[in-house]
Amino acid sequence: MSAPAATASGPPVQPRLGAVGTARFVWRQLTSMRTALLLLLLLAVGAVPGSVVPQQDVDPAAVVTFRDEHPVLAPWLERLGFFDVYASPWFSAVYLLLFVSLVGCVLPRSRQQWTAWRARPPRTPSRLERLPEHRVVAAPAGGDLLETAAAALRRRRYRVEVRPEGGSGAGAGRGASAGSVAAERGHLRETGNLVFHLALVGLLLALAASSLLSYRAQVVVPVGQGFSNTVARYDTFDPGAWVSPDDLAPFAVGLQGLDVEFEDTPGSQLGEPRDFEAQVQVAEPGLAPREEVIRVNEPLRTGGSEVYLAGNGYAPVITVTDAQDRVVYSEPTPFLAQDAAYSSTGVVKVLGAQPDQLGFTGAFLPTAVVDERGPRSIFPDARDPLLLLTGYRGDLGDVNDGLPVNVYELDTTSMEQLTTDDGAPWSVALRPGDSMDLPDGLGTLRFGYPPEGAAGDATATGASATAEAEDPLPRFAGLTVRHDPGRIPALVFSVLAMLGLVASLFTPRRRVFVRVSGQGSGQEGAAPRVEVAGLARGEDAGLAAEVDALARTLASEDLSAQPPAGRRPPPDRSAPAREPAAAGPRGSRTAGSRTRGASTSTTRTTPTRITRTRS
Amino acid sequence: MGESLAATSNLLVYSAMSVYAVALVAFALDLSGRGRTAAAPAPRQEALVGAGAPGAVAARDDVETGERRRAAAVGVSTTWLALLLHTAAVVTRGISAGRVPWGNMYEFTLTGAVVVTAVYCVLLLRRDLRYLGVFVVGPVLLTLGIALSVLYTESAQLVPALQSYWLVIHVSVATVSSALFVIAFSANVLQLVQDRRERLAAAGRPAQRGRFMERLPSSGELERAAYRLIAVSFPLWSFTLVAGAIWAERAWGRYWGWDPKEVWTFVIWVVYAAYLHARATRGWDGRRSAYVAIAGFACILVNWGVVNVFFPGNHSYAGIG
């Protein structure tokens, strides 16, 4: 702000603001358009880092990698909240201020709009020729021109008020009465604008509801197994702040089959996924179990939640016997895909092995190639499956104490790697059905279920000996369960916002006036003078056409022949090229170009004369 | 069958590019003034009056300026021809894969470019925007060049995540919206150049270079043209955002997850919202709001050229690299 210029009366005196005055000043600044604009630009700039720096909520693994790669930068980014931009204090501050500013701006405007909505159209200006659009029509005598004009304007969805002049206008009874019609339309523009902004507030609340009341869980399910909607069964569970584990709707889903297709024609698309489909059986309390299909864009809806097919992979069946030749582990073990050809990694934890617990870690390759670049898979289908494992013995750590641990990581701090007789690390490469002795007589490792007649307590470790379990290489489905009560309100408010937006951008605000002057009113045969004028408020390319059409309606002799409501009369081809109408406050900017062109011209399609003038 | 059609599509792209090149040259000639000849002497007198205000011109030969714009006419007809060839290229590409032609970045770019041309041609039917020809056909030609040389991907089926009717709704609206933003961007840039020339002229030091700008409308006119385009495009972009959220809810189990593509779509929306606010703010209308709109377009370029390729996320369908 610049200080007021010093005058002869002495130094400038700053107005003094009290506490209330200051608050009022701050509030006015906050709710000003300029502040809103600044906050919008800040919001845009503030959102960008979240797409450049990995986000904790979106990809936690990427955050870990980023921290390792940028040991100097990462702590600073951490302090600034760059790993969680959209929940950071500064980002929240920007959008909350923006919404406060929005509400502060929109509420008073809503009150004004409420008044304006019921106000009468403005009074008719005394000199209509000063308005941007002005026509003079020599209308035929007879008929109530004011009522005709009013009816035509009402059909065009104007709010209309008819103002006969001075009571004496209706001189000879039913003759054309003198007076004016004032009409206004376009309140929808401001209403739409307000609806848009208020719907954004609703959308923000819906987003908050989503964040507080939703939960998201992930679970890996091999074909033939299932899960129930309980926290204990999930691999990850992210609840909103107001979600308690008891709130989860009771349902259970069994995975009966999983069809996966990949591109198999050679070319650059070889191995690209083409179709994923999971066949499931859903059980809800009080309902008969039903068969459903989950595909990538077609989630399963059950119990107020959705179940999504988020991923898939292989869960090779691994059987371990211990030194006492007991089957201590025999179950499908999910290996998580690391690349597009499903080179996968996984972990086997054998808690019940004697004398030591056993752990294995390694890779599964569905179509294996081992060459100088190392072992890897070249195609995602199981064409030549190979399981590569190394082993550890010792104490598996926290899992023994019942603590939650990552099932895909092996904690080897209290374990010792298995070695061959010559001291090199022991490793094994197995194809389905293969089996291999562990070193030091610790037992055996097998890719597949135990052969017929093998002794052991496999059931104790969870493997079921059903028919489909004979497959040594079942697939697994990565399923995501999501419950989000905020999404429907979010959708409703989004749609409302869009409707409001369209109304606010495309509703023209116009005022149209018609004046019938009394020079000939009442006298037989003399044509009354009719003026039609229009004023646009803001951008309006269609005002001239509207005024033209109204003038034509009033000039036509046979009033019953006027075009039906809602349809415009045919465009006047003989009319001179029309400038893009730019009336209203912005029109003055191009005043230079507006003086050119047809300042006065006549249209020739109507039987009576319409004079068109422009200011 | 599919492969030969894809090859046909590529041939059609090359043909369209050569025709675009002709259109570009013709529009450039028109702007340079060489493609214009004075018509009969009678309307010439009017030309003296009209020359100072090139704002509104009739759809055919300029009655007011009394000029015959042969080069511009060639530009318009060749643009239509190019549109035809380009559309054929997009359609054959779609048939070759048996789906909508925007399953990877090459196809999205190819289709986006054809929509830019189509929108421009439709606008030409209603308004005389021939002065924009160079600034529409030029970017389209450049985009096609990038598409063929950098982004080209073989025609193939869709990955499962894209197998949804939302692909048709979400991406087609995004394409139309982007096309309008492209044309609005051209108008905004010309507005700024014209504005500078006008201020120099007002200061008594008319700009020496860029005489062709005299044949373009005033900066106010260009500003309104850009605004109208953005006013149409902004609701379409909002729809893209909402449709994308609905699709994300179905495909990924959440309607908003701050995926890089979502972030940038949101950023673009906010920047253009800022543009609309700027236009209504005193002191920000005119030049400054044009800068905001240009920043919005820069975000669109980032969203298309950088996010797809360099930022890993759920939208990594580019099919390149």
The residue whose two tokens read 């549109």 is B83
What band does A454 get if pLDDT is binned at 50, 70 and 90?
Answer: low
CB contact under 8 A, B220 and A596: no
Comparing CB atoms, the residue among A263, A484, A505 nearest residue B231 is A505
Residue B90: per-residue pLDDT: 94
- pLDDT (tens digit, 9 = 90+) per residue, B157-214? 777 878 888 888 998 999 999 999 999 999 999 999 999 999 999 988 887 777 788 8
What is the Cα–Cα distance from A372 to A400, expressed in whole angstroms? 40
Percentages of chain A per state (helix, strand, coil), in multiples of 5: 30, 30, 40
- pLDDT (tens digit, 9 = 90+) per residue, A227-248? 999 998 898 898 999 998 888 8
Q: What is the mean pLDDT of chain A?
A: 81
Tell me the average pLDDT across B15-21.
Answer: 95
Helix (H, G, I), strand (E, B) or coil at B3: helix
Residue of chain A with shortest Cα separation from B164: A297
Comparing CB atoms, the residue among A86, A308, A501 nearest residue B253 is A308
Angstroms from B19 CA to nearest CA on chain A: 31
Comparing CB atoms, the residue among B153, B160, B250 nearest residue A299 is B250
What band does B53 get if pLDDT is binned at 50, 70 and 90?
Answer: very low
> Are both A136 and A95 inside the same structural domain?
no
Residues 48-67 of B with CB under 8 A from A: 49-50, 52-53, 55-59, 63-64
- pLDDT (tens digit, 9 = 90+) per residue, B266-306? 999 999 999 999 998 888 888 999 999 999 999 999 998 88
Is A447 among the domain residues?
yes
- pLDDT (tens digit, 9 = 90+) per residue, A482-531? 999 999 999 999 999 999 999 999 988 899 999 888 654 444 555 678 88
Q: State both tokens at A450.
A: 């135990």
What is the Cα–Cα distance from B168 to B166, expressed in whole angstroms? 5
> Are both A320 and A457 inside the same structural domain?
yes
Candidates A2, A29, A33, A37: best to mutate against B (most CBs of B within 10 A) is: A37
Residues of chain B in contact with residue A202, where contact means CB-CB under 8 angstroms, are: none
What band does B105 get if pLDDT is binned at 50, 70 and 90?
Answer: confident
Angstroms from A145 CA to nearest CA on chain B: 35
> Are both A523 and A574 inside the same structural domain?
yes
Q: What does the DSSP assignment read for B206-274?
A: --SS-GGGGGSPPHHHHHHHHHHHHHHHHHHHHHHHHHHHHHHHHHHS-S----HHHHHHHHHHHHHHH
CB contact under 8 A, A491 and B242: yes
> Are both A86 and A136 inside the same structural domain?
no
Residue A608: per-residue pLDDT: 41
Candidates A101, A309, A590: best to mutate against B (most CBs of B within 10 A) is: A590
What band does A596 get if pLDDT is binned at 50, 70 and 90?
Answer: very low
Tell me the average pLDDT across A305-316.
Answer: 92
Tell me the average pLDDT across B73-82.
Answer: 95
What is the Cα–Cα distance from A214 to B255, expressed in whole angstroms? 12
What band does A355 get if pLDDT is binned at 50, 70 and 90?
Answer: confident
B127 CB within 8 Å of a chain A CB: yes
Residue A588: per-residue pLDDT: 34
Residue B84: per-residue pLDDT: 96
Residue A352: per-residue pLDDT: 86
> Are both A144 and A111 inside the same structural domain?
no
Residue B314: per-residue pLDDT: 67
CA diameter of chain B: 70
Q: CA quadruple B66, B71, B74, B75: dihedral positive or negative?
A: negative
pLDDT of A365 > 80? The answer is yes
What are the two backbone dihedrals, phi and then psi, of residue A412, each rounded to the nearest 5 degrees? -100, 15
B288 CB within 8 Å of a chain A CB: no
CB contact under 8 A, A484 and B56: no
What band does B4 get if pLDDT is binned at 50, 70 and 90?
Answer: confident
Residue A578: per-residue pLDDT: 38
- pLDDT (tens digit, 9 = 90+) per residue, A36-51? 999 999 999 999 998 8
CB contact under 8 A, A577 and B221: no
Q: What is the mean pLDDT of chain B?
A: 85
CB contact under 8 A, B56 and A580: yes
- pLDDT (tens digit, 9 = 90+) per residue, A75-129? 999 999 999 999 999 999 999 999 999 999 999 999 999 998 888 888 888 888 8
Residue B269: per-residue pLDDT: 96
> Are both A83 and A169 inside the same structural domain?
no
pLDDT of A458 > 70? The answer is no
Candidates B62, B228, B258, B275: best to mutate against A (most CBs of A within 10 A) is: B258
Residues of chain A in contact with residue B49, where contact means CB-CB under 8 angstroms, are: 596
Is A148 among the domain residues?
yes
Is A419 among the domain residues?
yes
What is the Cα–Cα distance from A71 to A60, expressed in whole angstroms? 17
What band does A175 get if pLDDT is binned at 50, 70 and 90?
Answer: very low
Provide the angle, in degrees to the nearest 10, between the axes of the packed helices A89-118 and A33-47. Answer: 140
What band does A453 get if pLDDT is binned at 50, 70 and 90?
Answer: low
pLDDT of A164 > 50? The answer is yes
B239 CB within 8 Å of a chain A CB: yes
- The DSSP H or E segment spanning B84 is helix B70-97
B231 CB within 8 Å of a chain A CB: yes
> Are both A105 and A135 inside the same structural domain?
no
Is A234 among the domain residues?
no
B271 CB within 8 Å of a chain A CB: yes
> Based on the structure, what is the number of domains in chain A?
3
Residues of chain B in contact with residue A52, where contact means CB-CB under 8 angstroms, are: 311
> Are both A346 and A435 inside the same structural domain?
yes
CB contact under 8 A, B284 and A34: yes
pTM: 0.82
Residue A31: per-residue pLDDT: 85
Residue A97 exposure: Cα atoms within 13 Å on the Cβ side? 21
> Are both A163 and A35 inside the same structural domain?
no
User: What radius of gyration, in Å, describes the C-alpha atoms of chain A?
Assistant: 39
What is the Cα–Cα distance from B201 to B210, expressed in whole angstroms? 13
What band does A29 get if pLDDT is binned at 50, 70 and 90?
Answer: confident
Tell me the average pLDDT across A383-388.
Answer: 93
Angstroms from A43 CA to nearest CA on chain B: 7
CB contact under 8 A, A297 and B234: no
> Are both A431 and A523 inside the same structural domain?
no
**A–B CB contacts, 8 A cutoff, strictly below:** 172
Which residues span the domain enclosing A598?
127-185+510-613
CB contact under 8 A, B156 and A269: yes
Tell me the average pLDDT across A580-596.
Answer: 35
Is A516 among the domain residues?
yes
CA distances in angstroms from A230 to A29, A80, A164, A217, listed in the order given: 51, 36, 76, 9
Residue A256: per-residue pLDDT: 94
B301 CB within 8 Å of a chain A CB: no
pLDDT of B155 > 80? The answer is no
- pLDDT (tens digit, 9 = 90+) per residue, A243-280? 988 888 999 999 999 999 888 888 777 888 888 999 99
Is A300 among the domain residues?
no
| Cis peptide bond prior to A71, omega within 30° of 0 | no
CB contact under 8 A, B246 and A491: yes
Is A217 among the domain residues?
no
DSSP letter for B305, please.
I
CB contact under 8 A, A51 and B264: yes
Domain final residue, candidates A117, A143, A168: A117
> Are both A147 and A75 inside the same structural domain?
no
> Are both A419 and A520 inside the same structural domain?
no
Is A213 among the domain residues?
no
Comparing CB atoms, the residue among B166, B231, B258 nearest residue A57 is B258
Residue A614: per-residue pLDDT: 46
Residue B187 exposure: Cα atoms within 13 Å on the Cβ side? 25
CB contact under 8 A, B277 and A37: yes
CB contact under 8 A, A306 and B53: no
Residue B275: per-residue pLDDT: 95
Torsion angle, alpha carbons of A188, A190, A194, A197, to 10:
110
